[in-house]
Chains A and B, each alone.
Chain A
Amino acid sequence: TVHSPTCPHLCFLLVPALEPQFLHLQTPDPGDPVWNVRWALCTRRSSGAPAPGSGATIFALSSGQGRCGIAVIRTSGPSSGHALRILTAARDLPPARHASLRLLSDPRSGEPLDRALVLWFPGPRSFTGEDCVEFHVHGGPAVVSGVLQALGSVPGLRPAEAGEFTRRAFANGKLNLTEVEGLADLIHAETEAQRRQALRQLDGELGHLCCGWAETLTKALAHVEAYIDFGEDDNLEEGVLEQADVEVRALEVALGAHLQDARRGQRLRSGAHVVVTGPPNAGKSSLRKPVSIVSPEPGTTRDVLETPVDLAGFPVLLSDTAGLREGVGPVEQEGVRRARDRLEQADLILAMLDASDLASPSSCNFLATVVASVGAQSPSDSSQRLLLVLNKSDLLSRKGPGPRPDLPPHLLLSCLTGEGLDGLLEALRKELAAVCGDPSTGSPLLTRARHQHHLQGCLDALSHYKQSKDLALAAEALRVARGHLTQLTGGGGTEEILDIIFRDFCVGK
């Protein structure tokens, strides 16, 4: 696609953009209910009304997910003021750059969300140079989630992509070049963190659903496209369009049901994801004796065990994984596969080795693959952190040589005697403070808002498909719907469509 999903809205105006060579038909359909609301508000507008033709307005949680009293949610873009007025149900905007206390409520239900401090920063004197709003709300997940979803329901607003706030600030000359030096790294880190966050959310049922829906939609679109591009010259089978219609209908029902269901609450896997990993029998599970059955046989933990814990004051989701080794039974191999998946999603990896067994092939292999690959990334490049722990230090002879000198920085621990535990906890606390304090870690709340936004967008687009008699318009509706889904699942693009067309139909001359 033209619009690289990973790189949206690079609006750096170094050279004046060309004006599109089209007739400017900018007034939306007055029959559209969304427009009516907006129009009614615009007639009374002060400065915060949406300006047609300018970029989208984005929002994000810009505080970390540690235990904090206040969470900060920011918006940037032309509809910021509009969103503020909608959420505060106020006619007027608060005075610029002054903190004001307002009751926030959901514009759809009118339900109160929180009493919050709001700040209105009209552009260009703002962080991004655009109109910005900050909502300082009480930090509980329910409130934050409620405000994010309320924002997502305001027309013209969408969750920010990784690094988008910073990029806008850059575009509007709000960052100097030295500040920009770190921007690419930051965006890389944010993208990575969001990717991991998205992987977590898509792990399991929702992921299967989304991928399945995207596949159905891509195929339906490909068949409609085939009908447009080849329907007259080549003989497509009968009923291509009818089949696509049926599939789109079914998809609409499934999506609608899912969205209804999701509002009742979806289990959030929030907190920093800490994954304990290592070769078999390094003592990974001994860290959490009460949870798993520990036996001296290697390969005891065959699945990923996941527990939400409070570690040094930070919300943590601790995953204990199967030991990483190849060439074992199918059950354990599945455990190893899951462990590797989980490693991909981790914010912090606790890599555990048997201090007395460092020369064994499994230890060497582990050091070479897992530890070296994370360690090889420069600290700014990687937002994934790793703590190397050598367990069973009690087995090392007191006077004998220490562990190999070529090992990366590590901690010594004995789960048996408890020696080194304090040191480990202190190190964990430091790492978690870094992980949780960084808003880029990717809040699950924002991810969920993003999911809902795109799933709802997909559903809305599908309803246009039904209404369109013009096949080009119908195909456009499917393209938009597919665009929303592929924002969640990845992929997309024209070549995929062409591949399906040429696979399913005998076309061409």
Chain B
Amino acid sequence: MFYFRGCGRWVAASFTKQQFPLARLSSDSAAPRTPHFDVIVIGGGHAGTEAATAAARCGSRTLLLTHRVDTIGQMSCNPSFGGIGKGHLMREVDALDGLCSRICDQSGVHYKVLNRRKGPAVWGLRAQIDRKLYKQNMQKEILNTPLLTVQEGAVEDLILTEPEPEHTGKCRVSGVVLVDGSTVYAESVILTTGTFLRGMIVIGLEMHPAGRLGDHPSIGLAQTLEKLGFVVGRLKTGTPPRIAKDSINFSILNKQTPDNPSVPFSFTNETVWIKPEDQLPCYLTHTNPRVDEIVLKNLHLNSHVKETTRGPRYCPSIESKVLRFPNRLHQVWLEPEGMDSDLIYPQGLSVTLPAELQEKMITCIRGLEKAKVIQPGYGVQYDYLDPRQITPSLETHLVQRLFFAGQINGTTGYEEAAAQGVIAGINASLRVSRKPPFVVSRTEGYIGVLIDDLTTLGTSEPYRMFTSRVEFRLSLRPDNADIRLTLRGYKDAGCVSQQRYERACWMKSSLEEGISVLKFIEFSSSKWKNLIPEVSISTSRSLPVRALDVLKYEEVDMDSLAKAVPEPLKKYTKCRELAERLKIEATYESVLFHQLQEIKGVQQDEALQLPKDIDYLTIRDVSLSHEVREKLHFSRPQTIGAASRIPGVTPAAIINLLRFVKTTQQRQAAMNESPKTDQCLRDADRLQERQL
């Protein structure tokens, strides 16, 4: 740990200040005279913190560069984590030993599982989080991560050098230049700059450059990226005003209490830090026609709504709700910002009206008649980079060893950012140690769906995770994220602790054993009816029924089954989590059998790698239409599976690609037999032609 506290910049005595002009290429690979890291992460938000710690867990000496150390772990928008789909992502981040789930288990003030009655595949773990605690706990975690250094500084530019011949890309990133001109070198660089790229804050008709209220945007970096040829788009988002807690009349509002017992986010936690009875409630209120009226009358004072920057199809702000669904009462959740915070976050009231009108609008709402606005709501417009320019390992096609994660890729939400952060951190580190990338397939996790959607289809609105985006939703459940990802994370990425790995192994073998035991126990249905009278099993069937099938009934759980057949089932009820997970496995068993076949088909396509260096625009021995060539050229799919998901790529084009792959492989096999040096020379020639 080399953390230098305080607001002062970290300066090492041995620095030789060297000013690099923009995008200067240095072929100098001599020993660095300036500090040298394996991985540099730019940005200390939800993607950056996960990326930095994941890289460090994988064994890389990592530097986290942020504008301000005291904003690390800042929740700049809603005071909550998780939800439907997002909770799934958090379980997967946790399965890879990421931070956010564990920190939420230490910082929440109201834990609630959504969709409790809709089936365990779509349960959404969610919690209201104490902002201050989250930040404190996150900073403590970051500062205690071995191999991780934190430094304050604004990055102005990237240091670019000659590309590595064995990879595609027109140059390679070797470090960064800070605003003060100092340089730091690294083997890989991860950009997690969120909304800071040419960020612009909008309230009413006022606009001023900022990444977040009170923080400067990154302009130099945005220019560098644009000069390199990255395709940049613009998105907008917003946040609601914050209201003084003591100015709200809660007594007339609907109260929502937390779950009892609380369900923790992390696989490693049995429980959360706070007892249910000590947790804070949320309250529900609604908008009314007077709110609509204020919004509609003042549209001329609202440049965020007028701007043509494309907003999402869903309704992110009260303005869009009123405009698209008029004459309705819209929900407003009043959420606590923390244990000792005197602020309330009105979820659903994201607004960009001028500040005085915001207060006027809010005081129309029931319970908020005397509400005081402490901080007005505001809109943010920012640059994002078309995510089709990155690979599924989140490395850019254009610049070798440069990775993007989080809002910069066009996503919205803490959880989406965290998920990308972990993957970018792991891959930046694997790249340094020359190991193959760690890619999560869409058959393995929500993380895979998120990244595959982004990298093959791109996005034109802030991308948010929904469970309906996930075709294998019944297989990719919050309960089994460890079995899907922890084992791979340990073996393929090295980002998982020994302890967590062993726990997941134990759980996997116990589940498998439990399931085979449950399949083995068979009785007639009338015997089951006698053993468990409450089960609604039909006794007309003459075939024996397995215990696993009895467990499928809603009214049966492992406890009732173990009471009926104590031997050998009793031992599976000792671990609560195991018993619950056995029940879930039984629920989905028959459907998963069919889904598994489909998953295999998809995985076969995913296993067909397309050569990374195909130049789709010029290859001659493949017959592809111009349109298909352009699409493939832009998205650069890595597998046949990904290529077939790009709209407009026809089955005939896929077959042509396959033939090309097979021919190339045969040719390469033949070439490998010729002398190695010969091969290298030829490769070098080919790359020379393509460079810059």
Partner of B603, one of A1, A20, A23: A20
**Contact of B328 with A by CB under 8 A:** yes
Partner of B654, one of A10, A14, A494, A509: A10
Task: Render B572-613 as a binary contact track against A, CB cut-off 8 A, 1 for contact.
Answer: 000000000000010111111100111111111111110000
Of the candidate stretches A228-236, A258-266, A443-451, the one touching chain B is A228-236
**Contact of B10 with A by CB under 8 A:** no
Assembly CA distance A170 to B85 (angstroms): 39
**Contact of B480 with A by CB under 8 A:** yes
Residues on the B chain within 8 Å of A177, using CB: 659, 662-663, 666
Residues on the B chain within 8 Å of A21, using CB: 444, 483-485, 487-488
**Contact of A401 with B by CB under 8 A:** no
Of the candidate stretches B45-53, B357-365, B539-547, the one touching chain A is B539-547
CB <8 Å contact, B650 and A6: yes
Q: Which of A48-65 contact B (CB under 8 A)?
A: 52-53, 55-56
**Contact of B687 with A by CB under 8 A:** no
Residues on the B chain within 8 Å of A502, using CB: 313-315
Task: Render A173-207 as a binary contact track against B, CB cut-off 8 A, 1 for contact.
Answer: 00001001101110110010000000000000000
Q: Which of A4-54 contact B (CB under 8 A)?
A: 4, 6-18, 20-32, 36, 52-53
Partner of B604, one of A7, A13, A497: A13
Assembly CA distance A479 to B470 (angstroms): 11
Residues on the A chain within 8 Å of B600, using CB: 17, 20, 53
Do most interface residues of chain B lie in helix, strand or loop, or is the interface mixed? helix
Residues on the B chain within 8 Å of A6, using CB: 650-651
**Contact of B18 with A by CB under 8 A:** no
Partner of B652, one of A24, A181, A191, A499: A191
Residues on the A chain within 8 Å of B554, using CB: 469
CB <8 Å contact, B468 and A498: yes
**Contact of B309 with A by CB under 8 A:** no
Residues on the B chain within 8 Å of A53, using CB: 596-597, 600
Partner of A17, one of B592, B603, B652: B603
CB <8 Å contact, B487 and A229: no
Q: Which of A461-478 contact B (CB under 8 A)?
A: 469-473, 475-476
Residues on the A chain within 8 Å of B16, using CB: none
CB closest chain-A residue, reference B115:
A232
Instruction: Give, as a whole number of angstroms, the nearest-CB distance from B327 to chain A.
Output: 11
Total A residues in contact with B, Cβ cutoff 8 Å: 77
Assembly CA distance A9 to B471 (angstroms): 16
CB <8 Å contact, B443 and A20: yes
Of the candidate stretches B56-64, B118-126, B167-175, the one touching chain A is B118-126
CB <8 Å contact, A14 and B651: no
Assembly CA distance A28 to B588 (angstroms): 11
Assembly CA distance A66 to B109 (angstroms): 75
CB <8 Å contact, B654 and A18: no
**Contact of B348 with A by CB under 8 A:** yes
Partner of B469, one of A22, A170, A494: A494
Assembly CA distance A2 to B601 (angstroms): 10
CB <8 Å contact, A2 and B645: yes
Of the candidate stretches B214-222, B379-387, B424-432, B508-516, the one touching chain A is B508-516
Partner of A471, one of B122, B593, B650: B122
CB <8 Å contact, B605 and A10: yes
Assembly CA distance A508 to B313 (angstroms): 9
Residues on the B chain within 8 Å of A233, using CB: 83-84, 114, 331, 333
CB closest chain-A residue, reference B469:
A494
**Contact of B301 with A by CB under 8 A:** no
Q: Known: A7-B654, A18-B441, A471-B122. Contact between A2 and B466, CB under 8 A?
A: no
**Contact of B467 with A by CB under 8 A:** yes
Residue from B546, B589, B593, B641 whose CB has the most chain A CB atoms within 10 Å: B593
Residues on the A chain within 8 Å of B654, using CB: 7, 10
**Contact of A507 with B by CB under 8 A:** yes
**Contact of B34 with A by CB under 8 A:** no
Residues on the A chain within 8 Å of B331, using CB: 233-235
CB <8 Å contact, A27 and B593: yes
**Contact of A352 with B by CB under 8 A:** no
Partner of A30, one of B512, B546, B651: B546
Q: Known: A184-B652, A235-B330. Contact between A25 and B118, CB under 8 A?
A: no
Task: Render B432-443 as a binary contact track against A, CB cut-off 8 A, 1 for contact.
Answer: 000000000111
CB closest chain-B residue, reference A230:
B84
Total B residues in contact with A, Cβ cutoff 8 Å: 100
CB <8 Å contact, A22 and B483: yes
Task: Render A432-445 as a binary contact track against B, CB cut-off 8 A, 1 for contact.
Answer: 00000000000000
Q: Which of A214-235 contact B (CB under 8 A)?
A: 225, 227-235
CB <8 Å contact, B114 and A232: yes
CB <8 Å contact, B655 and A187: yes
**Contact of B321 with A by CB under 8 A:** yes
**Contact of B519 with A by CB under 8 A:** yes
CB closest chain-A residue, reference B656:
A184
Partner of B591, one of A2, A31, A180, A476: A476
CB closest chain-A residue, reference B665:
A14
**Contact of B78 with A by CB under 8 A:** yes
Q: Known: A25-B515, A187-B655, A225-B468. Contact between A470 and B663, CB under 8 A?
A: no
CB <8 Å contact, A499 and B480: no
CB <8 Å contact, A472 and B122: yes
Residues on the A chain within 8 Å of B321, using CB: 506
Partner of B585, one of A1, A23, A498: A23
CB <8 Å contact, A228 and B644: no
**Contact of A398 with B by CB under 8 A:** no
**Contact of B676 with A by CB under 8 A:** no
Assembly CA distance A22 to B481 (angstroms): 10
Instruction: Give, as a whole number of angstroms, the nearest-CB distance from A489 to chain B.
Output: 17
Residues on the A chain within 8 Å of B66, using CB: none
Assembly CA distance A109 to B545 (angstroms): 29
Assembly CA distance A469 to B484 (angstroms): 26
Instruction: Give, as a whole number of angstroms, the nearest-CB distance from A352 to chain B.
Output: 31
Residues on the B chain within 8 Å of A24, using CB: 596
CB <8 Å contact, A36 and B473: no
CB <8 Å contact, A14 and B442: no
Q: Known: A473-B474, A509-B350. Contact between A28 and B604, CB under 8 A?
A: no
CB closest chain-A residue, reference B84:
A229
**Contact of A167 with B by CB under 8 A:** yes
Instruction: Give, as a whole number of angstroms, the nearest-CB distance from B514 to chain A.
Output: 10
CB <8 Å contact, A12 and B511: no
Assembly CA distance A282 to B519 (angstroms): 74
**Contact of B658 with A by CB under 8 A:** yes
Partner of A22, one of B120, B124, B475, B605: B475
Residues on the B chain within 8 Å of A503, using CB: 313
Assembly CA distance A112 to B582 (angstroms): 47
Instruction: Give, as a whole number of angstroms, the nearest-CB distance from A298 to chain B.
Output: 38
Assembly CA distance A427 to B554 (angstroms): 69
Residue from A1, A162, A235, A497 whose CB has the most chain B CB atoms within 10 Å: A235
Partner of A184, one of B607, B623, B662: B623
Residues on the A chain within 8 Å of B659, using CB: 177, 180-181, 183-184
**Contact of B347 with A by CB under 8 A:** yes
CB closest chain-A residue, reference B470:
A494
CB closest chain-A residue, reference B522:
A30
Residues on the A chain within 8 Å of B197, using CB: none
**Contact of B557 with A by CB under 8 A:** no
**Contact of A108 with B by CB under 8 A:** no
CB closest chain-B residue, reference A25:
B589
**Contact of B312 with A by CB under 8 A:** yes
Instruction: Give, as a whole number of angstroms, the nearest-CB distance from B386 to chain A.
Output: 17
| 6 nearest CB pairs, A to B | A508-B314, A472-B119, A470-B119, A506-B325, A472-B121, A471-B118
Other CB < 8 Å A-B pairs besides A471-B122, A498-B313, 11 of them? A12-B604, A14-B661, A18-B441, A32-B590, A177-B666, A233-B83, A233-B333, A471-B119, A502-B313, A506-B328, A507-B314
18 CB < 8 A contacts A-B: A2-B442, A11-B604, A14-B609, A18-B441, A20-B599, A22-B592, A23-B515, A30-B546, A162-B651, A181-B659, A183-B655, A184-B659, A228-B468, A232-B115, A235-B331, A476-B473, A506-B315, A507-B314
